[in-house]
Amino acid sequence: MTSINTLSIDAAGLSAASTAYQARQAIRRGDWVKHTSGLAARNAQGNIAILPAALASDFLRFCQRNPKPCPLLAVSEPGDPMLPTLGQDVDIRTDVPLYRVWKKGVMVDELSDITPLWRADLVTFVLGCSFSFEHALIEGGIDLRHVKEGKNVAMYKTNIQTVAAGPFHGPMVVSMRPMSAANAIRAVQITARVPAVHGAPVHLGDPALIGISDINKPDFGDAVDILPGELPVFWACGVTPQAVVMAVEPEFCITHAPGYMLITDLLNSDLSLA
């Protein structure tokens, strides 16, 4: 886990909101162009999609219809780069460590500041991130193999179809975490309480039942071993909306770079129902 102390911020001496604010300020200054895993660990992080207003209402309906893969934390006013519901002085043009710029589904640039590209018709979508529910699982005493092994989580395309809205449609992408049956049961309970970050699993057990032909060959991320006595447990994944957006090949679109998330003032515990 990357220590926030390398930013000269003493997390122990700061409130979570203050830690998150200072982390965003460091990112804004260009002092932190790295992934955000473990940064301000008590705070919720967000996946970012910035779309032209012409597509935004369709995409908003898509998220509303597919809350497990697309759990909305915030939607900006058109043209407004600020996200006041997510924290103090959150400016989406500067507060993500690394952005990707897309034209017609092709990545054309990676930048740490998109201020020059901002337009009056852009709408920002912030979606819950699995870091938050992994935090809840680990706090609940459930070890996650990919975390222990320093790997990216294993992700798979499935035959589970999302509910379409306008041009947006496509299969659900899931992440997989192997665990014992007892932990799988606990994990259902824990993650059901965080619907703002994917919620309860969408499947467990036989991968073939959701169209995964080889569990050892994830479509994204890294394979992890499934030990004897373990079940694979599958959650809807934030890669789903990215894949769905890219399939539409919007004329212009900005996302975060994978793992380089927006740190919000929301606590992970704020996202929990109980």
- Contacting residues toward its own copies, per CB under 8 A: 181-182, 184-186, 188-189, 192, 200-206, 209, 229, 231, 274
Q: Least distance (Å) from its own copies to the CB of residue 229?
A: 5
Give 26 or 200: the residue with its C-beta nearer to its own copies. 200
Give 50 or 176: the residue with its C-beta nearer to its own copies. 176
Q: Least distance (Å) from its own copies to the CB of residue 53?
A: 36
Give 24 or 203: the residue with its C-beta nearer to its own copies. 203
- Taking the CA atoms of residue 128, residue 129, residue 130 and residue 132 in that order, the dihedral angle to the nearest 10 degrees is -80
- Taking the CA atoms of residue 108, residue 114, residue 115 and residue 117 in that order, the dihedral angle to the nearest 10 degrees is 30
Give 203 or 256: the residue with its C-beta nearer to its own copies. 203
Evaluate the CA torsion angle 185, 187, 190, 193 in order and state its sign: negative
Q: Least distance (Å) from its own copies to the CB of residue 175?
A: 15
**Radius of gyration of the chain from its Cα atoms, rounded to whole angstroms:** 18
Q: How far is it, in rounded angstroms, from Cα 91 to Cα 82? A: 5
Q: Least distance (Å) from its own copies to the CB of residue 192?
A: 5
Give 9 or 160: the residue with its C-beta nearer to its own copies. 160
Give 74 or 236: the residue with its C-beta nearer to its own copies. 236
Q: Least distance (Å) from its own copies to the CB of residue 67?
A: 15
Q: Least distance (Å) from its own copies to the CB of residue 21?
A: 34
